[in-house]
Structure 1
Amino acid sequence: MDLGTDDVPISSILKSQLAILDHKTAAIWATACAEHVLPLFEAVYPQDMRPRTALEAGRAWAKGNMSMFEARKAAFASHDAARKAKEEGNLEASEAAKSCSHACSTAHVKDHALPAAAYAIKAAKDKETESKWQMEFLQKLNDPS
């Protein structure tokens, strides 16, 4: 099953940094990664709020303000938005919405944080800069001093 990481080089350093995060901090990181590319979706579908709602749900779960089941509903809706964008040939928008979906799905399973990052890299115009930003932000979360 392709969770977005099969064709994106994800460094072992990033994986090891992510592994030491607690579940809620992983969700915060995944949500930040997805938010970085959300404008690529919203530029094409400005009226479709499903990916943004998924990010808000992921954050609400991380703060303890939403159940995992409620967050999952928002994640599924964002995935539907991604599917629609793909069917219409808007691949960057689709990857951005998938990133939002996986970021929100991190509420269910921590391991969804990695596909959230991978789909953000796929969506990004400058993949190297996106990868670097993700790693720097993850390191900051691991060492807030």
Structure 2
Amino acid sequence: MNHLIQVQSHRTLVMWALDCAKQPLEQFEAKYPDERRPRVCLELCEEWAKGLIKMPMAQKAILASHAVAKEIDDREYGALSQAIGHAGATVHVETHALGLPIYELTAIVNKYGIDDFSEPVREKIIYYYNRLLYWHENTDKHEREWAVFLLDEHKHNSD
């Protein structure tokens, strides 16, 4: 899967990460319904990817999602908030896309324990792979706005 990630366009990885972050966000909010920072992170990063806001506003939201992990005494759900933060940060740099599965898979291991995580992790990896294949085929078929820096794959300006 790492190779498949490496050959994707930045836009495809943004679509994949923001899409895949919906499940950990749903899980997180089921336990912490009053904690809005992970949701705000995804919402603002979606706006950033569309060019509707600038990096500093999105970056503040990303850091706030990461801060949740330090503030709650919950390794599983802290890892979910980290996964969400990395999904949002994919808008800035495509390599952050790897943070989403790393942290979400960590949350799964924390949930199921060292003896029982194998099957849920395998299922999640298959899910990531299938979603990445979907976005590989469909990113440019979706009519949506893109920030200028995401339209030019060779330019690395994150404004």
Cα-Cα RMSD: 1.7
Q: Percent identity?
A: 33
Task: Tell me the residue number matched to 1:128.
Answer: 122
Task: Tell me the residue number matched to 1:4.
Answer: none
CA offsets, 1:62-93, max 9 Å, x none?
Answer: 222222222111100001111112xx1x1111
Task: Tell me the residue number matched to 2:48.
Answer: 61
User: SS of the residue aligned with 2:8?
Assistant: coil
Find the partner of 1:77 among 61, 64, 70.
Answer: 64
Task: Tell me the residue number matched to 1:103.
Answer: 87
Q: Contact conserved, 1:40 with 1:92, CA < 8 A, in 2?
A: no
Larger radius of gyration: 2
Q: Where in structure 2 are the equivalents of 1:10-89 lying within 5 Å? A: 14-85=1-72, 88=73
Find the partner of 1:141 among 135, 138, 146.
Answer: 135
Q: Contact conserved, 1:25 with 1:62, CA < 8 A, in 2?
A: no
Segments of structure 2 that go 5 or more residues without pairing to the other structure are: 112-119, 142-159
User: SS of the residue aligned with 1:65?
Assistant: coil
Q: Distance in 2 between matches of 1:25 and 1:66?
A: 20
Find the partner of 1:115 among 81, 99, 104.
Answer: 99
CA offsets, 1:42-80, max 9 Å, x none?
Answer: 122110100011111222222222222221111000011
Q: Contact conserved, 2:15 with 2:135, CA < 8 A, in 1?
A: no
> Structure 2 counterpart of 1:61, which letter?
W
Q: Distance in 2 between matches of 1:52 and 1:119?
A: 16
**TM-score (normalised: structure 1):** 0.80
Q: C-alpha displacement at 1:33, in angstroms?
A: 2.1
Q: Contact conserved, 1:40 with 1:123, CA < 8 A, in 2?
A: no
> Structure 2 counterpart of 1:46, which letter?
P
Q: Contact conserved, 2:12 with 2:136, CA < 8 A, in 1?
A: no
Cα gap change, 1:19/1:114 in structure 2, threshold over 3 Å: closer, same or farther? same
Q: Distance in 1 between matches of 2:20 and 2:97?
A: 9
Q: C-alpha displacement at 1:17, in angstroms?
A: 1.6
CA offsets, 1:9-39, max 9 Å, x none?
Answer: xxxxx22222222223212211222221123
